[in-house]
């Protein structure tokens, strides 16, 4: 435990017997519960999670993966798609953060600007799965 006299004086000859073990940061259950409602929670590797909010969402560095829903939020009609696909309490922070980071300077601005000029991945996956369903199955005769 940190000794009050050592903490105030900074006595180098008598260091405190505090081993300064790192403790994980406190994360409220509300932030984790919100993130767990995300359909991609189990397999997501994004450094910043908009579902956990600006304080708890993590920190994004250049070159790290970006939340796919955050990328989708800045695409043409992306907000409408997200509101139809995600629960409202999850879609709202994703859309808010997408616009905030798109209009800011920082490591997320470049990937979001690039995504805003490209087509929707959600729509292309939907079209691909629909075309597979319409295709007749080949029989091995």
Expressed as residue numbers, the domain containing 52 is 27-123
Task: Output the pLDDT for position 43.
Answer: 92
Position of tokens 């993590």? 58
Helix axes 88-102, 109-116, angle to 10 degrees: 100
Q: Is residue 12 part of a domain?
A: no
Say how many domains are in the chain: 1
26 pLDDT higher than 60:
no
11 pLDDT higher than 90:
no
Q: Is residue 113 part of a domain?
A: yes
Task: Output the pLDDT for position 69.
Answer: 94
Q: Is residue 140 part of a domain?
A: no
Express as a percent the part of the chain with pLDDT over 90: 38
Residue 51 CB coordination number (10 Å): 26
Q: Is residue 20 part of a domain?
A: no
139 pLDDT higher than 80:
no
Q: Is residue 6 part of a domain?
A: no
Instruction: Determine which helix (DSSP H) or strand (DSSP E) holds 42, and give its type and residue range.
Output: none
Interval 40-76: pLDDT, tens: 999 998 989 998 877 777 788 888 999 999 999 999 9
What is the Cα 9 distance to its own chain's centre? 43
21 pLDDT higher than 50:
yes
Helix axes 78-85, 88-102, angle to 10 degrees: 160
User: Is-above-0.85 flag for pTM?
Assistant: no
Confirm if 51 and 57 have CB atoms less than 8 A apart.
yes
Q: Which of 26-30, 79-83, 103-107 is predicted least confidently?
A: 26-30
Q: Is residue 59 part of a domain?
A: yes
Q: Is residue 81 part of a domain?
A: yes
User: Residue 4: which pLDDT band, with cuts at 50, 70 and 90?
Assistant: very low
């Amino acid at each position: 435990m940190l000794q009050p006299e050592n903490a105030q004086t900074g006595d180098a000859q008598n260091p405190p017997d505090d081993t300064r073990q790192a403790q994980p940061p406190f994360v409220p259950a509300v932030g984790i519960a919100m993130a767990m409602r995300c359909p991609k929670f189990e397999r997501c590797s994004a450094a910043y999670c908009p579902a956990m909010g600006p304080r708890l969402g993590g920190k994004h560095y250049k070159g790290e993966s970006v939340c796919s829903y955050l990328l989708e939020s800045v695409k043409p009609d992306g907000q409408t798609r997200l509101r139809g696909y995600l629960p409202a309490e999850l879609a709202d922070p994703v859309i808010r953060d997408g616009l905030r980071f798109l209009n800011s300077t920082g490591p997320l601005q470049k990937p979001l600007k690039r995504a805003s000029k490209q087509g929707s991945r959600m729509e292309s996956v939907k079209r691909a799965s629909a075309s597979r369903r319409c295709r007749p199955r080949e029989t091995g005769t």
